Every structure is written in C-alpha cells, then in structure tokens.
Amino acid sequence: MMPRTAGISLWWDTLGTEVPQRPSLSGDLDVDVAIVGGGFTGLWTARSLLEVNPTLRIVIIEAEVCGFGASGRNGGWASALFAAHDARIAREDGVEAARAMRAAMNQSIDEIERAADADGISCDFAKGGTVVLARSAAQASRATEEVAEARSLGFGADELRWLDAAEATAMVGATSVLGATFTPHCAAVQPAALAVGLARALEPRGVRIVEGTSATAIIPGSPVSRPRVTTDHGTVTADVVVRATEAWTSQLADSAREVIPVYSLMIATEPLPDEVFAQIGLADRQTFSDHRHLVIYGQRTADNRIAFGGRGAPYHFGSSIEPSFDRDAKVFADLQATLVDLFPVLADARITHSWGGPLGIPRDWYSSVGLDRTTGLAWAGGYVGDGVTTTNLAGRTLADLITDADSDLTRLPWVNHHSKTWEPEPLRWIGVNTGLMAAKWSDSTEQRRGRPSRVAGALERFLGG
C-alpha cells in the first residue's frame, strides 16, 4: 500500500525511491518495548535500545508511515539548539548542568553522522555550522548579548562567536548585514532520507514496524498490570510503552494539553546555478537565519536549492491538526518575500515546493524525556522545532533509562522534567495567536525604529521561552 507522502515536503518528493506503507498491526501483540510514533524519536529509541540489548522485542506503532510527521517535513537542521536557553538551564539547574546539556547536544550531531554512516544511510549530511545574521541595530544588539551570555557561561569562540559584517557576508551574501553569530555545531541533512533509512535499518535487526495503525489510547501499568497501547488494529502490551508522538501528543485524550501543535511552513526553490551561489555564498552548506523574533530558517540543499521556512501560520483552535493546515498561501507568499529580501538574486527563482506541518510546544518551552517506573510509561518531546538532533539525544537517553543504565545522559537536566499544561480553550487560542501577532509587530517596529522591542521581551517572559 502506498502512503500519502507525495507532496508533503521537498524531502519526500526528492527521495528518488518509493516508500510503500508497511502492513498494519494484525491483532494483539506482547513485546518488551512498544514505541508509539515512527518519527525520529521512536526510530532513535529503537536503534539505541538495540545497541544496549539486541535481544529486546521492540515494536514501533505508526499511524501513517515512518517519518510522515515533523521528521520528514522540517528544515533539515541537525543543530545543537535546545528549546530551553543555556542561561535558563544555568539559572534553574546550575552552570554545570547547562554545560553538560550543551555538550550532549553537540555530541548528538556527531552521533547522527556516526549512525548514518554505520547504517549506510545517504542523507546529505554536511556540517557547515549555522550563521544567524544581524540585519538591524536591534538584531545586532541581541546577537552581541547572546555572545556575551555564552562567554559568561564558559562557552568560548569554538561554541559561538561574533562575525563582523565582512565575515558574515562572506558566508551568507544577504542584504543589510551588520554582522552575525556563528556556531560550527550544526549540520544540514535531508531529513526524510534519514528517517526512511533509519526505519529500513531497524527491521533486519528484529524491530517490528507496523504502519497505518493509529494508537487510540496509552494505558499506564499498575502493580497488577503492564502498560498497553490500544489501536484500531489490536492491543499491544509491553513492559515499557514509549510515547514518541510530538505534536500529535495533543490528539491523545490523556495528554491533550501537554503540548500544542503549532505550524511551521516551508518553501523550496528550483535547483540554482553556480553563479547564483557565487552571490549567495553558503559554500559549506551553512544553515542560516537572522535575529528577528518570528523565526526563519534555511539551508542550501545537496541539489543546490534553497529550502526556507518560518513561523507565521496561526495556532488552530482546540489544538486541531488537519492536512489543510499544512498550506497557507499568505504564509508561503510572506516566506518568498522574506527570501527575496535576503537574497534579491532569487527574485525570479521558481518555487517548486511548498509545505508545512505541526511541531510540539510545551507550556514552558522546555523539552523533556523521562520514564515513570510505576506506570511503565516513557516519553520524549516538546522540541519546539529543534528536534532533529534532540531526538537522537532522546533516543539514547530513553535507552539508558529503560535498561537502568546510570549514565551521564540520565543525569541531564531535561530528564524527568515536567512542564505545566497549557490553558484550556479559548485562553490558549487567544494567547498563542496574540503572541504570534506580537512577534510580527515587534519585528516591524524594530525595523522602523532600530531599537529592541519591549513587547517582545515581555512576550518571552510570559511564554516561558
């Protein structure tokens, strides 16, 4: 059976191979570990568990096809970005905890490359770092503050440094560049190729993957029963059930307010000639952004396109997720206008792909991973759009938690973190969309006035980001 992946992203459309949907669950099943969700979190967890104990009976339960969600639709940044800022972690858990978290994120980028090489996965991995441009005085102020904050936490220029206008423009030939921050800790990847490759590599090692199988409930265990997953094709009972559903966590009744699904949309150009990149730069396939409030992100793909995305789509009432929300003509037009503003040479470049999808945001903008031994339920998620690398760390951490390994990973500050739940409707619809409008307004006023927006600062404190 062919899944409905055609057209859901550039990444799926350029895989160069068909990905048929695997068979559904065919009745009740008993395993050691049941993983709900066939995205990066679930795939990395299964892979990591096998590295610890190859004899484990593992099943991955996926409603569509592995990589269908955010894992196959994102911007392809395998970055060291973590949802909670370093300074916040240092404030709440101590400087050493912040340093350990940053080191673990950096290491996870290399773990992705190691695993892809070991499994023979061609995912266009290119570790060129990230350039975040400062294109106004207000943005430059935030950029230099970020570098100063990094130094105060003991992070040197090898972690984050300031580029002057000439250095920044040599890397990313955008307009109005005053400078930039640069970190070497990011790789551009083809995310759908990585997800599909991970899934294919798991099956010969004994992992069972059932697709086209929707989980209807995750039922905790008790002193007299093991946890289980009810689905539309049978019930799976396990010693441990891992919830790896990210934005779709909001669609499960028992976790409906743990994260909200917020849409991020993307466009991609046609393959561009060398003379265009002579002006744009990105010679090492650096990922790029700027220091505005409304997030944008881009990369030069292996086939010489620009894949470019950003926030701007509204949050939908009741945490709704619908295929129609993947497309918003106004947001796509705004993204193209922003891309041309950055790189005027792209004014006539044809946009060949436009797509989107939901990402999961917890109320305090703090990702988490954990295991409750009393119920047998484990989880990871709330990546706030920074999941390509964080999922790898989550999978390795879950493997250690599930197998009772006492490791550096299990002592990281995000382990067993519990975010408070989102407000009921209509409060969260009002609050989230007001925040979206405030971010847009702040960027506009900063561009006009050249001063940092007080509204944006207040918004960040309110949202807990």
Lowest mean pLDDT among 274-278, 283-287, 448-452: 448-452
Q: How confident is the model at residue 448 (pLDDT cuts 50, 70, 90)?
A: low
Pair 93, 20 in one domain: yes
Is the pLDDT at 459 greater than 50, yes or no?
yes
What is the residue whose two structure tokens read 């960027």?
Answer: 443
In a domain, 323, yes or no: no
What's 415's DSSP letter? B
Pair 39, 120 in one domain: yes
Last residue of a domain, one of 387, 405, 422: 422
Pair 416, 429 in one domain: no
Q: What's the mean pLDDT when you consider all of the chain?
A: 95
How far is it, in rounded angstroms, from Cα 19 to Cα 254? 32
In a domain, 34, yes or no: yes
Q: Provide the angle, in degrees to the nearest 10, between the axes of the packed helices 40-52 and 387-402.
A: 40
In a domain, 334, yes or no: no
Residue 40: which region, alpha, beta or left (left: phi > 0; alpha: psi -120 to 50)? alpha
pLDDT of residue 240: 98
Mention every residue, 6+ apart, whose C-beta is less than 8 A from residue 200: none
pLDDT of residue 464: 47
Pair 37, 122 in one domain: yes
The alpha carbon dihedral of 107, 113, 114, 116 has a sign of: positive
How far is it, in rounded angstroms, from Cα 27 to Cα 38? 19
Q: Which residues pair with 126 in a beta bridge?
A: 188
Can you tell me whether residue 31 is helix, strand or coil? strand
Residue 344: which region, alpha, beta or left (left: phi > 0; alpha: psi -120 to 50)? alpha
Q: For residue range 110-163, list pLDDT tens digits in order.
A: 999 999 999 999 999 999 999 999 999 999 999 999 999 999 999 999 999 999
How far is it, in rounded angstroms, from Cα 426 to Cα 155? 42
What's 448's DSSP letter? H
CA 278 to chain centre: 30
Pair 1, 90 in one domain: yes
Strands 368-372 and 296-300: unpaired
CA distances 312 to 27, 225, 410, 421, 463, Å, are: 42, 45, 35, 23, 17
How far is it, in rounded angstroms, from Cα 268 to Cα 85? 29
Mention every residue, 6+ apart, whose C-beta is less than 8 A from residue 29: 59, 234, 235, 236, 237
Can you tell me whether residue 447 is helix, strand or coil? helix
Q: For residue range 23-77, list pLDDT tens digits in order.
A: 999 999 999 999 999 999 999 999 999 999 999 999 999 999 999 999 999 999 9
Residue 365: which region, alpha, beta or left (left: phi > 0; alpha: psi -120 to 50)? left
In a domain, 54, yes or no: yes
Q: Provide the angle, in degrees to the nearest 10, between the axes of the packed helices 95-118 and 86-93.
A: 130
Pair 23, 116 in one domain: yes
Strands 351-362 and 259-269: antiparallel
Q: For residue range 237-283, list pLDDT tens digits in order.
A: 999 999 999 999 999 999 999 999 999 999 999 999 999 999 999 99
If we measure between CA atoms, which residue out of 52, 65, 47 comes closest to residue 3? Answer: 65
Report which residue type is found at 241.
V
In this prediction the pTM is: 0.95
Q: Which two tokens stand for residue 315?
A: 């949050």
Helix ranges (H only) for 177-290 are 191-202, 274-280
pLDDT of residue 1: 59
Report which residue type is found at 257.
R
Pair 5, 45 in one domain: yes
Last residue of a domain, one of 422, 440, 455: 422
Higher-pLDDT residue of 453, 198: 198
Pair 22, 110 in one domain: yes
Domain that holds residue 462: 425-465
If we measure between CA atoms, which residue out of 49, 40, 41 comes closest to residue 404? Answer: 49
Burial (CB count within 10 angstroms: exposed 0-12, middle 13-18, buried 19+), residue 464:
middle
In a domain, 192, yes or no: yes
Pair 385, 436 in one domain: no
CA distances 391 to 50, 88, 101, 398, Å, are: 16, 21, 14, 10
pLDDT of residue 121: 98
In a domain, 217, yes or no: yes
Pair 367, 445 in one domain: no
**Residue 323, preceding bond cis, omega within 30 degrees?**
no
How far is it, in rounded angstroms, from Cα 12 to Cα 35? 23
Number of independent structural domains in the chain: 2
Q: For residue range 315-339, list pLDDT tens digits in order.
A: 999 999 999 999 999 999 999 999 9
Pair 399, 446 in one domain: no
> Which CATH number belongs to the domain containing residue 215 in this structure?
3.50.50.60
In a domain, 448, yes or no: yes
In a domain, 91, yes or no: yes
Mention every residue, 6+ apart, whose C-beta is less than 8 A from residue 376: 220, 221, 226, 227, 238, 239, 240, 241
Pair 64, 75 in one domain: yes
pLDDT of residue 5: 84
